[in-house]
Amino acid sequence: MTNRTIRVDYIARVEGESSLELSIRNGKVDAVRLSIFEPPRFFEALLRGRGFGEVLDIVARICGICPIAYQMSGVHAVEDALGIDVEEPIRALRRLLYCGEWIQSHALHIVMLHAPDFLGYPDAIAMARDHGEAVQRALALKKTGNDPLRLLGGREIHPINARIGGFYRVPNRAELAPVAEALKHARDRAIEITALDGGLPISGICPRLRVRGTPPS
């Protein structure tokens, strides 16, 4: 039987970039190589000649799923360079903004991107036919994470409200109260999703190869 090597240069359902290489010998998978990598983004070149106030909005475009990670790295770098020390309330609000990104990103990553592969579905839409409640919980949790992004960042994707030294607009207590209440309920959804994640079948070095085609659990 002919030996083969199968290469997939880009895998879509990964936050970041990845590739997969399968080595087949005598009709059996002999080796699996999964590479996680970050290609050049060239944002350093885009920032040359720009004003320091433009940095935050530019670097936020590096990723639509995790723009806050890049935006906060940019704001901290500029503030450090200019000797700006922000007060604790601003740091707390930035922490809340960051946590919102973590919540929505993890819900998306675990249920929408990874769970279909482990359970043998082509995508989350197909998985929802058999695991509708899990998908609905993940969507609700993602929405809860998006709320702080919209309130503190101005919008969920590529936020525009952060600036050097703080925010262009700071929400008042009445605006923050619904977000705080929603986060309390989000804890239960997070625990349920953790239980789903902990029960995913893991078999061998490449779970998708073993699980694909088997009946969903």
Give the model's pLDDT for residue 53: 87
CATH class, domain 42-211, is mainly alpha
217 residues of the chain, pLDDT tens digit each: 578 899 988 877 776 678 889 999 888 888 999 888 777 778 888 889 999 989 998 999 888 888 999 999 999 999 999 999 999 999 999 999 999 999 999 888 888 888 888 888 888 999 999 989 889 989 999 999 999 999 999 998 899 999 999 999 999 999 999 999 998 888 888 888 888 777 777 643 333 333 333 333 3
The residue ranges of every structural domain in the chain are 1-39, 42-211
Distance CA 63, CA 144 (A): 20
Vertex 204 angle, CA 201 and 205, to 5°: 115
Q: Cα–Cα distances in Å, from 122 out to 17, 52, 128?
A: 19, 44, 11
Q: Cα–Cα distances in Å, from 89 out to 35, 99, 102?
A: 41, 15, 20
| pTM of the full structure | 0.75
